[in-house]
Amino acid sequence: MLNYSKSLRAALGVCAAFMLCCAAAPVWAARVGISMPTDQRQRWLDDGYEMKIGLEAAGHEVALTYAGDNDVALQKKQIAEMISQGATFLIITAADRNSLVEVLKDCRDKKITVIAYDRLIAGTPNLSYYVSFDNYKIGVMQARYLESMLELATSKQKRYIEIFSGSKDDSNATYILNGSLSVLQPYLDKGTVVCRSAQTSLEQTAVQNWRPELAEQRMSELIKELGYGPEGTKLDAVLSPNDSIARGIIAALQKAGYDQSNIPLTEGQDCDKRNVKLIVDGLQGMSVFKDTRELALMAVAMVDASVKGQEVPVNDTTSYDNGLGPVSAFLMEPVMVSRGNLREVLFDSGYYDESVILNGQP
């Protein structure tokens, strides 16, 4: 993926240089509307910025909006405004995957290409493409980590876990949980792994909007109900789908008396700065790194190829169904990060400034 990413960046750099030399906009310039779900998470601020910069460098006109803090009504209003203002491409990360059917209903007739960015939009026939990381694989990676660290394949000891999932209105949550259970369910069926709460379905384990305070609340309730603690009922691991949920889980575990020496294994996704520090400090086991700079560049490449009449890059046409059939997708490769490879993946690559992370700055 690294070589491809470098070539993609180089190609966009050529586009930018070409534009500086031309007085007139190229005939392939598009009007692109980018709709992000919230301005309350650095992840979405960064993604929107990266796409805007890349698209403008390639000669396209860009409108970038953020829907407050996952304000569904506001997002629909913003998308409707972009359509009325003549957008020919829409790149959307849905605050609610089921909420956009009506606002997108005329997009195909108006020849507007819609790209779902990192969250699959459900229920609309007007979705053209999906660009994301392979969320099913992310779930598999998280479960494989637990399988390895708890020696599930070889140990004769029972292992005790609890399971958390992402927001029910985000299709990624389903794919991640299904990926994890593809690994863990055989152990649960055999009794090698025990979930004392018996809560393993999305309905039972979901955390609305992936909020850390809701994850902390649920973990605190499980601790109280089941007696988990360093001197109490045994708990080996907590399966967490992303870093914000992991922070809530870890906060509840620390309040119950756990520390670096005995805290149950917890993993996540996104390599948020605060969670990288938790990994360094031994409070979180791993996180799945998704280089969102490259995800943004892939969205740019999809727009650019489509405008120029070239083949739009996709590598999966069957896995992601939005309820009306499979959507053509480009799925990026995630990377597992733990203390062993953290420096190489996050610091040496320039993704994060090591001194900032180690000083605990947000």
| End-to-end Cα, the chain, rounded Å | 28
Going across the sheet that includes 89-92, the strands are 61-66, 31-36, 89-92, 113-117, 129-133, 329-332
CB 133, CB 47: distance < 8 Å: no
pLDDT at 2: 37
Residue 5: both structure tokens together: 């990413």
Instruction: Domain 135-290+337-358: give its CATH superfamily.
Output: Response regulator (3.40.50.2300)
Q: Which residues are within 8 A (CB) of 320 and not within 5 positions of it... i.e. 6 or more apart?
A: 120, 130, 132, 171, 175, 326, 327, 329
Residue 155: both structure tokens together: 């140990």
- Helices then strands, counting H and E runs in the chain, come out as 12, 12
Identify the H or E element spanning 269.
Answer: strand 265-269
Average pLDDT, the chain: 91
Ranges of beta strands (E only) in 18-172 are 31-36, 61-66, 89-92, 113-117, 129-133, 159-163
Residue 248: both structure tokens together: 């809530």
Whole-angstrom distance, CA of residue 5 vs CA of residue 298: 9
Question: For the chain, which residues make up each domain, given as ranges?
Answer: 2-127+291-333, 135-290+337-358
Binned at pLDDT 50, 70 and 90, residue 95 comes out as very high
pLDDT at 255: 98
The reply to whether 135-290+337-358 shares the fold of 2-127+291-333 is yes
CB 146, CB 161: distance < 8 Å: yes
168: left (phi over 0), alpha (psi -120 to 50) or beta: alpha
The structural architecture, per CATH, of the domain 2-127+291-333 is: 3-Layer(aba) Sandwich (3.40)
Task: Using the predicted structure, report yes or no on whether residue 362 has a pLDDT greater than 90.
Answer: no
pLDDT tens across 282-335, in order? 999 999 999 888 999 999 999 999 999 999 999 999 999 999 999 999 999 999
Identify the H or E element spanning 281.
Answer: none
Task: Using the predicted structure, report yes or no on whether residue 12 has a pLDDT greater than 60.
Answer: no
Whole-angstrom distance, CA of residue 324 vs CA of residue 197: 35
